Chains A and B, each alone.
Chain A
């Protein structure tokens, strides 16, 4: 895996109970940079059964890196988006395409949130991040 996840794994290793872990995730969500209102439109919505997620991506710089804006109406989902941003935001399309978020999140005990049986928009968001990266690779 090209993206270094050690720091993230270490951050989460401090929590020994679910409450502390969720509180931390919720805090991360609160600190997530707000998505520009003009981007929170139907077109950028990733549909989920339980909560809504909006997401946009763009390419910057040379060599190219990918930047993302994302938001959700659910706080825990927003926090998980912040975790995904720590993994994917600012990385190269090639590294993103190579990085399996499920594996990354399983290392910090959050894999159940993006398993395909959770229709919470987050699963679709990960798919879109990787599809956008793959599109850059042609």
Chain B
């Protein structure tokens, strides 16, 4: 095969084959084919994930890390294999650096407790940004109120871009942690993660990224980023709900006290005192989300088999097409037009409320999100009370963008 032909083969994105892997995409809503554009809230699941979970329940289910019997060993193997898959997906140095949690919120709260309450003191500063999801605001406000840390907020520009220079000006030797999103759930803005880490590390601060909206859109290499923590949720990455991941550098996780106490996280327990288990068990008290973790392992296998670079190229194509086509809707204004964006379009339409928009397009089978997207401070910053948001995933098509646009024309008709 010639080099050109090879490259064309690599570029080929078999959308129909991918769509066929997601059984739910065959469903109809109000008599119309499902046009699922709310992947930023939660993505649909491929058969590979559904089957992986089903086969655990049908063939070898048992609790992990406990029994000496065959099923417990098999399930434990599958659970720990899922951890190694996530390790590889993030290119973490060691599987000990991968902690399973319930979701990204659980992972951030783990850091706020174990790192925040364990290692920070009054007067220490934590920096977040104006475009955080509530899950990366509230835990730090709670920590502030409890420990007397100082919470600072890095601003964004009117187009939704992260203002790196303004952020840098907030850094000082008092800064102990920078906790910012890698990709905004509302605007799709990609933050300059590597630069943020370099600047923060220069001041001796640790860095946490909320990657919940990033891990399904682009390859993540935590060693290359050199971040200290990276969290994400499984259900937006085509995996099941009920599973999240905390990546943390091993030395840092070792230095942190445990968060939840209970079974599986101890080395020994007497009625007087206990000693902690090694990583990662130290942070996984109680029976973990076993089958969900295995499902997430299957999800990253699936995403990797399609290829993140190819997914990113396809989604950027959708983003460009949607941005262009939405411009044809009279009175529509995009909210969030930063140069570096994932495949998310948030918008408002003159004379309509986002809730009205979402209700009407639902009648055409189109699923989009409306509201403040759990990011009220960002809504305030952008001067809106809410937006409508279409967020595209690997299985969405240009035809679905057309369906969205024509259903928005219908909204215009109805609201005049």
Contacts and interface: CB of A to CB of B under 8 A. Distances in A.
Interface in B1-50: 30
A71 to B, nearest CB: 12
A18 B410 CA distance: 12
Interface string B306-327: 0000000000000000000000
B30 A26 contact: no
Interface string A43-87: 000000111100000000000000000000111110000000000
A50 B30 contact: no
A49 B387 CA distance: 12
B355 A77 contact: yes
A23 B415 CA distance: 8
Interface residues of A, number: 15
A42 interface: no
A23 B371 contact: no
Interface string B384-408: 0110000000000000000000000
Contacts of B258: none
B201 interface: no
A50 B354 contact: yes
Contact of A50 (B352, B371, B410, B414): B371
27 contacts: A18-B30, A19-B363, A19-B410, A22-B359, A22-B360, A22-B363, A22-B414, A23-B414, A49-B371, A50-B355, A50-B358, A50-B370, A50-B371, A51-B355, A73-B353, A73-B385, A74-B353, A74-B354, A74-B355, A75-B352, A75-B353, A75-B415, A76-B353, A76-B355, A76-B356, A77-B353, A120-B355
Given A74-B354, A75-B352, 17 more contacts: A18-B363, A19-B410, A19-B414, A22-B359, A22-B360, A22-B414, A23-B414, A50-B354, A50-B355, A50-B358, A50-B370, A51-B355, A51-B386, A52-B385, A73-B353, A74-B353, A76-B356
Interface of A: 18-19, 22-23, 26, 49-52, 73-77, 120
